[in-house]
Amino acid sequence: MKRRQFLRTALASTLASSAAFQALALSKNNRYRNDIGIQLYTLRNQLKADLAGTLKSVAEAGYKQVECYGFPDAEEMIKVAKDNGLAVNSSHFAWESVTDPKKEGVAPFAQILDQANEAGLTHLVVPYVHGHNRETLDDYKRLAENCNKASVEAKKAGVQLAYHNHAFEFEPKEGGKSGYDVFVEEFDSDMMFEIDVFWVVVGGVDPVKLIKKLKGRVSQLHLKDLKKGTTLPEFGQLPKDAFKELGNGMIDIEPIIKVAEKAGVSHCHVEQDQSPDPIKSVQQSIQYLGSL
């Protein structure tokens, strides 16, 4: 068995067998519990069908804020969220304005920052990178350079820029070094990480240890759970049923949220990429966190 595969298997076993897996609800005064957010991509199909009704359900479930997606084409989503008493601090956005700014047809990042200010956003997040932009470590170095340049612009505009991971960033490249290793080394102090704990685990890394390592450099977290017994793929795709509500999988969420506070994380958002009943799933996740 290859060392990397062994480590990933060992990590999955540790998560699944942890005594703390039977997590207690967070304390009543936990600031993330009392201000929990949701990444609205979880409810993308429901939002298309009934924007107002879906966001009303989110507020009624007990969520206090939402993180949008598709910005700047999210004006109506932001308005309706605010109409339902939900704060909107952050959004995923048209990332090529940062990662591939010279590409034809890509909107200038300065324009997106102006729109973010108009919408009252304080955080923008690079949500993805196309495969052809991340084939080698040099590609990741170029990405880091572009992110650093954009983060300076963002800071001047009063916006925090961050990068959201999947699992592919943890895949070893030349010399066993990963793209995420490059980001950790190359990102300037103005460029932050939004850590998706699910994809960190799929990438074979312990999220608690990673958050500790990046103390002061993590702006937000995505909280989601991974089905018990899931065989972690080699940085590839997972079946839809691998995505579970908080508390219904192998990831111990409470230690992650506890370390988040020590690491200076601003916001935590529930997310579940796939679910047969997303509304029910997000209700179950917030109930697990003890917010009702």
CATH number at residue 246: 3.20.20.150
Cβ contact 142:106 at 8 Å: no
Question: In this predicted structure, what is the pLDDT of residue 262?
Answer: 94
Question: In this predicted structure, what is the pLDDT of residue 15?
Answer: 55
- Rounded to 5 degrees, what angle do the CA atoms 42, 223, 94 make? 55
22 in any annotated domain:
no
207 in any annotated domain:
yes
23 in any annotated domain:
no
- Tell me if residue 31 falls in helix, strand or coil: coil
**Among the listed residues 40, 11, 34, 21, the one whose alpha carbon sits nearest the alpha carbon of residue 271:** 40
- Computed from CA positions of residues 184, 267, 60, 116, in that sequence, does the dihedral angle turn out positive or negative? negative
Phi, psi of 268 (to 5 degrees): -120, 135
The count of domains in the chain is 1
User: Can you read off the two tokens belonging to residue 211?
Assistant: 């958050």
Task: Give CA–CA dist 171/69, Å, rounded.
Answer: 26
131 in any annotated domain:
yes
Task: Give CA–CA dist 69/31, Å, rounded.
Answer: 24
Question: In this predicted structure, what is the pLDDT of residue 235?
Answer: 82
15 in any annotated domain:
no
What is the number of residues in the chain? 292
Residue labelled with tokens 């074979």: 204
User: Can you read off the two tokens belonging to residue 47?
Assistant: 């939002």
100 in any annotated domain:
yes
Question: In this predicted structure, what is the pLDDT of residue 20?
Answer: 36
From first to last of its 292 residues, what are the pLDDT tens digits of the chain?
A: 454 554 455 465 545 444 333 334 456 677 898 899 999 999 999 999 999 999 999 999 999 999 999 999 999 999 999 999 999 999 999 999 999 999 999 999 999 999 999 999 999 999 999 999 999 999 999 999 999 999 999 999 999 999 999 999 999 999 999 999 999 999 999 999 999 999 999 999 999 999 999 999 999 999 999 999 998 887 878 999 999 999 999 999 999 999 999 999 999 999 999 999 999 999 999 999 984 2
212 in any annotated domain:
yes
Q: What is the domain extent for residue 99?
A: 3-10+29-288
For the whole model, what pTM was predicted? 0.91
16 in any annotated domain:
no
